[in-house]
Structure 1
Amino acid sequence: MVEIKTDTSIEAMRAAGRVVAQALAAAREAAAVGVSLRELDRAARAVLDGAGAGSPFLGYRPRWAPVPFPAVLCVSVNDAVVHGIPDGRRLRHGDLVSIDCGAVLAGWVGDAAVTFTVGRAEPADATLIRTAEDALAAGMAAAVVGNRVGDIAHAVGRVCRAAGYGIPDGHGGHGVGRSMHEDPGVPNEGRPGRGMVLRHGMVLAIEPMVIASGRDDTYTASDGWTVRTADGSRAAHAEHTVAITDDGPRILTAP
């Protein structure tokens, strides 16, 4: 069931979204050669703690997960697409890093992700990141009252495919509200004019993921969480929580 949020609830979600933006910024600022992935998680956790916010990631255990997620931040490096567990691995120059963070504030959730490189980006990585961001922008532009979920999916997928990139099978966006994952699902590829009609008060996490090789295949690593590209190619991920409003899409996790 899709929960339609009131304007007051959307404002509360915007407060949670600001915390997410601040946590992502802190983790990105902490990222440097020699810094461990666990240190990025600590930087994000400090922001959540300072804001009096909780984490929808920490302790989260869907049915398919062998263990609860142990951190407030997903940190996915190079061939990891999503759900990377931050551990003692230390960043190297040229690493491609995706960080995904959520926050729970006053019972409402925000969720966003960003990809960047450590040090100077190689042209191929810069293009990969820019494509994920362009796909996110296209998906958000389609998130207007009267459109359908398929219009968002089509907008995202068209940008990714035009660039020659793969789109990971079985991964996409979702509704957000009192819980991190709510209805409806928001695929990263689809046919326009299909799916649920978008209404004022719906809130969605739109999150393109792109694979450099053009292949869509992934696998889950032995930790039970990290999703990696099947061919070892690099991946990028971009995400915002977006409210559908009569005045157009509103990005709730913008800085």
Structure 2
Amino acid sequence: MKKEWKWMLIAFVTVVLFRSGILHGAVYNIIGTNNNWPTVWNVVPGLSDPSEGLSRYWVDFVGDASYPVAYWAVDSEYVYFRMRVRGNATPNDMSDSFFVLIDRVGLGQEYVPEYGFAWDNNIPTPNQQDQHGLEMQVLGVLGNTWGTTSMDDIDGSSGQKYANDINGGGRTTDGYVRLTTDVPGGDFGQTMFLDFAVSWWYLTNYTGLAPTQQWRIAIASVGNANDHSRLGLNGDIVGASVNDPVSTGWSGILNVPEPSLGCFGVAVLVLWLVGNPQQKR
């Protein structure tokens, strides 16, 4: 009976690891190399998205209750966001832009993005990541719909990074971008995780974002275009479409920071107990 319980626990842990994306394929450190990415991720509440069947499948966000479309985490140095997209690709395939849009609760109009993190990979050559790459954005044009709304870089430059942008002024540790392939996605098939990390030092010095606030987030992509394009153009908006009002597609409220053990911590604890039965007295 003890052996049966042991194998049941191992099977449970395996399922947890697959659903968490811990078992995966290639990892691409697109912008910088961060050796301290979270091992514990919190699911972003209130977001899900079906496949849109886009030919540029890597801009197609997917996720449900079993395989969430978005996660987040915080530590003393960074805030992290993770997005699930369909299929498998490499960074060289992706001449697109991806956005985590932030509505800071209590600041300005509700359900409107005051800020955004954008990975602009619509660049002629890979060595221009230092001029584009992960960028801090503010609201540019607020339209009646997502498809008539766009963001602008916080430094006001579409071609260069200035000191008040992420990794501007010669800094290299303000932000990171990572892509993980071959992540099981249930009915969605193979998926990928696109991860952003942005430092609290940068945010508190150059933006109005900081710990202890409340945020809502929305997630968008633009296909084969830069991060100044209308949101959702040839891409996707999680939980909404380009014709929907900007007030749709937002997550539940995130209380920043939000400590949580998370499923990885549970999995490690179970594995440790299986390997150390004397600790279960």
TM-score, with normalisation over the residues of structure 2? 0.26
Whose helix proportion is higher, 1 or 2?
Answer: 1
Q: If you compute each CA radius of gyration, which structure gives the higher value, 1 or 2?
A: 2
Return the structure number with greater strand share: 2
